[in-house]
Every structure is written in structure tokens, then in C-alpha cells.
Amino acid sequence: MTFLDMLRDATTRNDSMLCVGLDPEPSRFPEGMRGDPHRIYDFCAAIVDATADLVCAFKPQIAYFAAHGAEDQLERLMQHMRCNAPHVPVILDAKRGDIGSTAQQYAREAFERYGADAVTLSPFMGWDSVQPYLEYHGKGAFLLCRTSNPGGDDLQAQRLASVPGQPLVYEHIAALAQGPWNKNGQLGLVVGATYPHEIERVRALAPTLPLLIPGVGAQGGDAVATVRAGLRAQGPIIVNSSRAILYAAQGADFAQAARQAAQHTRDTLNAARA
């Protein structure tokens, strides 16, 4: 199955648009694990097992593993997800952006070492920084388009005088991803939930692409506004929540609390479809 096939299947099977982001911070782990980076796998695997029937995707953020020298635990976690939640696609949140042989190595890391179904990328260096990932047929690649951080305005909200119509940078990225860059139908876009009117603008420019939408939960994005702005019949959305689910409780019941938080978020998103 391609990434898009897996996404559609998980969305239907689990009746979900929710993605759980796996951003492990040992200092926030529950009692008995707290402060121990060697328990990253144990913590994340428990979250996966508790929420696998509630999500359309999982999104491990590679920096939270690499900062603790826990890449081996990420490899174990990826294997755990393939064995215990094989119907749920995994998006490796790496935000890579480089060219030539370096991009090829990053693509190999994402798809061969970790076995991800999709990866997040920065398109700043242009088409040849994206192309190596698309050589892995069936895999997905999400380009940063309109991010949820305030500093995104510094570049993404600037006009391109050299392009007909003088679009904003994020509009140009959306048009490229929907059009000439999407050679094999593998591209998607990252759009922050904190800007619902801009989600709607991206959706107008990229009506069929999957949108990965972080920022719901701890970052304050409005789940209902996000769904109404981004969801279309031919354009799926993947709404990510990380901290609000991972750290819903600090005790031994952390996994059950995470499940309850995920179920509440999933149900809120589903209700917005009406």
C-alpha cells in the first residue's frame, strides 16, 4: 500500500483525522520513568498501544530522540508500530532540506533505516532537495508551507515579485506542490492550525493534497475551525496533537489518560465535519 492508501484506510477504519505526535521529553514522563532517557521507547510504545485504534497516523519527531542519543529506541519504536499498528501510517517529522547526495542520504535514513511511510521536508532549497524522496515510490513527503510559529511570517508571508500574480511564498509552495512538483502524487503540505484562514487559502490552491496540520492542543489551534478550513472530499487532513495527549497525566495511568485525551480530540474533530 502507498502512504495515501494507508492514510485513507486508517482514516476510515479508525474514523479519525487525528495524528498523535510522539515528542518524548523525559523530564515530563510519569513517575517511575521521569528523567530517564532510556525509557523513551517504553513511554512511546505505551502511547502507541493506547491510541492505535483512534488515529489516522503517528508522527515521531526525530529531534526528541536524537537529542538523547536514542535513535536506536526510535528504530525499535518504528518496528513496534509496524508490528502492533500496521494499519496506521507513520510520518517521520524530520524537516530535512538539502540537495544532491546529502538529500539522498536523508531519504535513505527516513525510508530505509527507520521505515517511515512519509517524512516532513523544508522546500527552501527547491525542487532538487525534494526529488530524492520521491524516488521512493509510494512514500509521502510533506512540505513545510504555512507553519504555526509567529516567525513564519518572516518568509512565508512575503510576496514574490518575480512570480506572476505576486503570490505569497506559502501560496507559491502550495501551487508548486499541487502542480509541477507532485510528479507521482506523493506530496502533501504542512499548515499550522493557528491560521485557519490560511489553511483555507492553501486548500483552495491545493484541493487534493493531504494537509498535515499541527498546532491543535497545547499550541492553541481551534480544532473545529481547522476541520472546516481544510477538509474537502478529495483533500484529506491529518490533525496533529502531541503534548496535550502525551502528558495528559503524570501517574501510572498516563497511557489511559492519553487514550481519553486522544478520543476526546478525535470526537471533536469528527463533530466538526457536520
**How much is the CA Rg of the chain, to the nearest whole Å?**
18
SS3 content of the chain, % helix, strand, coil (to 5): 45, 15, 35
Give CA–CA dist 38/53, Å, rounded. 27
Q: Give me the helices (H) in 161-222, please.
A: 169-178, 196-205
Q: In the block, which residue shows the cell 492553501?
A: 202
Question: Can you tell me which residue has the cell 512511546?
Answer: 44
Cα 251 versus chain centre, distance? 27
C-alpha cell at 224: 473545529
Among 212, 155, 210, which residue's Cα sits nearest to residue 187?
A: 210
The CATH number linked to 171 is 3.20.20.70
Other Cβ atoms less than 10 A from the Cβ of 218: the count is: 14
Q: 197: domain range?
A: 3-272
Cα 249 from Cα 138, distance rounded (Å) = 37
Domain count, the chain: 1
Average confidence (pLDDT) per 10 residues, the chain, 274 residues: 97 97 98 97 98 98 98 98 98 97 98 98 97 97 94 95 95 98 96 91 97 75 86 94 95 97 95 86
Distances (CA, A) of 219 to 64, 70, 242: 18, 26, 10
Catalytic residue among 59, 95, 139, 183: 95
Structure confidence at residue 219 (pLDDT): 53
Question: What does the alpha-carbon distance between residue 24 and residue 59 come to, in Å, rounded to a whole number?
Answer: 11
CA distance 90 to 217: 20
pLDDT given for residue 273 in this prediction:
86
pLDDT at 217: 59
- Model confidence, pTM: 0.96
pLDDT at 274: 75
Task: Tell me if 255 sits within 8 A of 32, measured CB to CB.
Answer: no
pLDDT of residue 216: 73
In the three-class reduction of DSSP (H, G, I as helix; E, B as strand; rest coil), residue 73 is classed as helix
pLDDT on residue 224 = 85
The question of whether 95 is a catalytic residue gets the answer: yes
The closest of 67, 146, 143, 83 to 115, measured between CA atoms, is 83
